Every structure is written in C-alpha cells, then in structure tokens.
Amino acid sequence: MSIKNASIHGQWSSRWGFMLAAIGSAVGLGNIWRFPYLVGENGGGIFVLVYLACVLLVGIPIMIAEILLGRRGRQNPVNTMQSLANQESLSRHWGLLGWMGVGAGFIIVSYYSVIAGWTLAYIFRVGAGVFVDADVLVAKQVFVTLISDPEKLLAWHTIFIMLAVIVIARGVEKGLENTVKILMPMLFFLLLLMVAYAMSTEKFFEGLHYLFIPNQEHLANKDFFSDILLPALGQAFFSLSIGMGAIMAYGSYLSNKTSIVFSCFTIAIADTVVALLAGIAIFPIVFTYGLEPASGPGLIFMTLPIAFGQMPFGTFFGCLFFILLLFAAWTSAISLLEPAVAWAVENCNISRIKATAWVGILAWLFGLLTVLSLNHWAFSFQFAGVVKENGLFDLFDIVASNFLLPLGGLLIAVFAGWFMRKQSTLAELDIGNGWVYQCWYFAIRYIAPLGLLIIFLNAVGLF
C-alpha cells in the first residue's frame, strides 16, 4: 500500500473516474492524426504489427510501473521520484527523470496545440460546407492554405491553449471526469460511422489489406530498426501517454483500492482500438481517391473531409467529428501540462490558478515556433527514410516521441525493476506474487529495458 493516502491535489472520485481520465489522456490526436500518417509513411501493415508488439511488450508494463510510482509517491513527477528514491535509499538525482518529463510535456504540448488548432479550424470549414462534393485537389488546397497562414494558426493555437488552461485551473477531478464520460463514447461511435462509410468505398479491402497484412514491398529501401521499429515504439509511448510523467501524475490521484493492472489493460485496449478504427476509416479513402499514404501530418485533414463531402448529412457529421476530435485533444493536452502545474503548485507555493497561467503562457510561447515552422521558417530534413518538411515542428515531434519518451520509459523500467525493492512493487500492485506479477516483473526487468536499449543504441548508430 502507498505510504501516503492521498495527494494534495485531490483524488479521482472512483475507479472509473481515473480510468476515464487516463483514457482521455491516451486517446487524442496521437490515435487519429498521428497513427495513420505514420502507418502511411513507415511501412503499412509491418508498422502496425510492430506497433502492437511495442504496446504489449513495452508499453503496458511501463504504464503499470509509471502509475505504480505515481501512486506510491503521491506528488508531481519530480518530487515523486525524489521521495521514492529517498524511501529506497537511492540518489535524489532520480528527480531528473521527473524534470525530463516536464520538459517533454512542454515540447509536445507546444505543437500538439497547433495541430489541435487545425482541428478547430476544420470544425468551421466542414461546417460551412467547404467540402461538399470536394475532390482531392480542393481538400489539399484548403489544408495548404490553412498552414501557410501564420496568423490563423496563431489564433487557433491561442484559443486551444486557453481552453486547456481553463480545465486544468479547475482541478483534475471537476475539470475532467464529465468531459470524458460523455464525449469519448460519442467519438467512438462517430469513428464507427466513418468506418461504415469506408466500407462503402471501392477500395475498402485494399485499405484493410494495407493496414493489416505486412507486405515485403513496404520494406523496400527501409531499415527495419530506424525506419519502422523506432517510430513504432515512439508512437506507442506517445499514444499511451507514457514516459513523461503524465500518467504518473494521474496515478498520484488514484485511490489505493483501484487495481492498477486491470486499469492499464483497459486503457491500452481502448487506445489501440481507437487508433485501429481511425486507420480502417482513413486508408480506404486514401486509396479510393488516389491519395498518397505517405502524405505526412496533413493526411487526415486531406482525407476525412472528402468523405464528409460525399456522405449523406456529411456536413453535420463532419462538424461533429472535428468537435469530438477537439475534445479528445483537449483531454490529452491537459495531461501533458498536469506534471508542470502540479510541480509549480507544490514547489513555488502558488495557487493552482496562478501555476496554470504561468505554464499556459510558457506553452503558448513555445507553440509560436511550431506556427512559424509550418510556413516562414520551414526547412526540410530526412528522418526514418522520410523527408520531413516542417522543420522545427517535425524535429520537436521526433525528439520528444522517439527519444525523450522512450528514454523516460527506460528509466522508469530500470527504477521499478532494478532499483526499487521487490517488496515495494509487490505491495503497491497488491495482486500477490502470482503469474500476473511475475510476467510484469520479467517484462519490466528484462524485456522493456533491453528492448529500449537495443533500439536506442541502434538509433545513435552504434550497430
């Protein structure tokens, strides 16, 4: 059992309250925007298969460890790691792990907010009927016009940061639970509707085939480690919200009675199902309309509106879809900032509202870099065998999700598997020393750290 019973920031009202908040954090732009475009850029069915393996073998064990640490420490990630290290008679430098997470959260939220801004913009474009009977050219044109206009991007980015700040300022429980309880199931149903539309297109099976059947051809000119495994691993961390303390902070508000293992499986399954549904909805449209699967970050903004333009009541459903996507992004952005806000409240002796305002301003400022990198400051470079055209934005995304999050995950695994006493993890998970615990313990001690290490060493070119 945890040493402390509750965090000073409050606690989830029930097990479902926590689960919904964690699902709200996990399900977001990562599933619907990022997953499909990475599948398209990095090897189709092979990428999907490797991604699923990463979620199961590395993602879930690390999520369990991260929540376990959060609940045992009951503070923000920096202080949690320091005090756990203290309890286990280890160096206070473990607090750096928390700092790394706070930093990664800032980097991610800075561009996350800009992409969420695209979503906001699309609510109005789809709602105004811009895409009725539109073809690929129109869809591309609308997207390119939007991202070439820094003023518009800035305005949407600003609105989104303000939305996030309002919810965080209200506190974790009040601000979050209700939003997620109603809107997440609605998003799920709309995705099913999109899948139904995809089934009516000519190339439905081609899309499914592309997603689920690994094809040697997609490996052509690609290096398995750096072009498929590394981005798939990064996506698993990004999508599950692990490796940066977001889920650790949520774990610190979790009651001692809730089962961590059961919750983690539920969260991971929900997250994965949403990502796969998004893929099933998008790729048939990509093939039917002759789009390029490797169209990059604009992929869903250039495909889904075409579908809405064709289907009955498309303007209504399209508008609703982007509204729900906005909510999904909103509940994720909150968790990206929560570690920083909790840190400021605990260490700077300021109110939650003030802390949120400062964190919000910083995140907003950072976001300006992404806004400009999509137009005036754009430059291109190559990563994972793909040409990236949006300079700093792509760079932030790559550094945070492919390096900082997995590195955070590696340290979490090493801490929970090797440095913490076994009796501490046994007590906190509270599931006895049976096969479930043994499997987790093996994964967190060997599979996750070794897997991550091999991928890292490869990424820096050591073999």
Structure tokens at 65: 């460890």
Site membership for ligand PHE, residue 270 (CB under 6 A): no
Identify whether the C-beta of residue 281 lies closer than 8 Å to the C-beta of residue 188.
no
CA distances in angstroms from 258 to 34, 67, 213, 338, listed in the order given? 31, 11, 38, 21
Identify whether the C-beta of residue 97 lies closer than 8 Å to the C-beta of residue 412.
yes
Site membership for ligand PHE, residue 235 (CB under 6 A): no
Q: Among residues 30 and 117, whose Cβ is nearest to ligand PHE?
A: 30
Helix, strand, or coil (residue 158): helix
Site size toward ligand PHE, by CB under 6 A: 15
Structure tokens at 127: 């709602």
Q: How far is the CB of 348 from ligand PHE (least distance, A)?
A: 23
Site membership for ligand PHE, residue 238 (CB under 6 A): yes
- Annotate each residue in 193-232 with x if it binds ligand PHE (CB under 6 A) or - if it does not, as one string: ----------------------------------------
Site membership for ligand PHE, residue 31 (CB under 6 A): yes
Identify whether the C-beta of residue 112 lies closer than 8 Å to the C-beta of residue 271.
no
Site membership for ligand PHE, residue 252 (CB under 6 A): no
Q: How far is the CB of 110 from ligand PHE (least distance, A)?
A: 13
The sign of the CA dihedral 117, 122, 127, 129 is positive
Structure tokens at 223: 């290096």
- Annotate each residue in 310-349 with x if it binds ligand PHE (CB under 6 A) or - if it does not, as one string: ----------------------x--xx-------------
Site membership for ligand PHE, residue 110 (CB under 6 A): no
Residue nearest to ligand PHE (CB): 30
Structure tokens at 142: 């609308």
Q: Strands, DSSP E only, in 311-360?
A: none
Identify whether the C-beta of residue 246 lies closer than 8 Å to the C-beta of residue 413.
no
Among 22, 29, 126, 187, binds ligand PHE (CB under 6 A): 29
- Of the ranges 28-36, 79-87, 124-132, 209-217, which one interacts with ligand PHE (CB under 6 A)? 28-36
CA distances in angstroms from 146 to 141, 224, 260, 297, 375, listed in the order given? 9, 35, 43, 13, 10
Note the residues at the interface with ligand PHE (CB under 6 A). Answer: 25-26, 28-31, 108, 238-239, 241, 244, 246, 332, 335-336
